[in-house]
Each structure stands twice: as structure tokens, then as C-alpha cells.
Amino acid sequence: MKTDQVYDLGSVEFRDNNDLTKYCRDARTVLRLLSQELAFAGDELRAALSTVAGSRAAMGIDVRMRARIVSAHLLIASDLLRIAVGAVAKCHASFIKHFAPELAEIKQRPGKPSFRIVEPDRKSV
């Protein structure tokens, strides 16, 4: 899977709510793409391993079972990443629920880096 967009999640600086929103949106995109890639690779691996010659007595059932066991690890990883996508969305929703009202009322302290609430970007998570 190829994407033209590059996401730099490691260089995040949480200065305001727009930074958090962008980070959550980008993290969800990266995790979703990786989840789809792992699911696709798991299916491809299962199909490829199923073509290996197996026991004649088992008529290839043994090979298909082993292929399913091996490819299942990629499918499990894909499922876990889909759960992570939801967790990132919940992080953003939790921020909105728990911090946005209070942070809108807090005055900035001069000289110290702080998190501030600004007008949200049009794009949402």
C-alpha cells in the first residue's frame, strides 16, 4: 500500500487544541492504513501458503490449516490496530469532554509553555 502523504507523529508539540486534533487525525489515518495493509498481507500470505504441496492423504487440508494459523497473526495485528484507531478517536473525544470548557477559562501564564484553546480548524477528527 502506498500513500503520498507523510505523517510525522514523533515531532508533535501539544501547544493548543488544534495540535491535538491534527495529531489524532494523523494517528488515526496512519493506524487505519497500517491495519488495512496487514489485513491484506494476511490474506495474501494465507493464499500463498495454501499453494504449498501438502500430504496427499490429507488432500491439502493440512496445508490450508497451517496457512491459516500462520496468517492469523497478521490478521490479529490488523484487528488490534483497528482498536487503536478507536482509542485515538476516544482520546480526542475525551479531551473535548473533559478539558475544553475549563481550558477556555484559564488565563495564560506568561513565560511558561502552556496548552491553550483556540478556534478549531474546520477539519475534525
Handedness of CA 66, 69, 73, 78 (dihedral sign): positive
What ranges do the domains of the chain cover?
A: 29-120
Average the pLDDT over 107-116 and give the result: 59
- Interval 79-111: pLDDT, tens: 999 999 999 999 999 998 888 676 666 645 555
Joined together, the cell numbers standing for residue 75 give 490478521
Torsion angle of alpha carbons 37, 39, 40, 41, nearest 10°? 80
**Cell representation of residue 10:** 514523533
pLDDT at 9: 84
Q: Measure the CA–CA gap between 26 and 5, rounded to whole angstroms.
A: 10
- Per-residue confidence (pLDDT) for residue 5, from 0 to 100: 66
Question: Among 121, 105, 102, which residue's Cα sits nearest to residue 23?
Answer: 121
| Radius of gyration for the chain, computed over Cα atoms and rounded to the nearest angstrom | 22
Give the orientation angle of helix 17-49 with respect to helix 61-98, to 10 degrees.
Answer: 170
Q: pTM of the entire structure?
A: 0.73
Whether pLDDT at 41 is above 70: yes
Q: Which are the contacts of 20, defined by CB distance < 8 A and separation ≥ 6?
A: 14, 92, 95
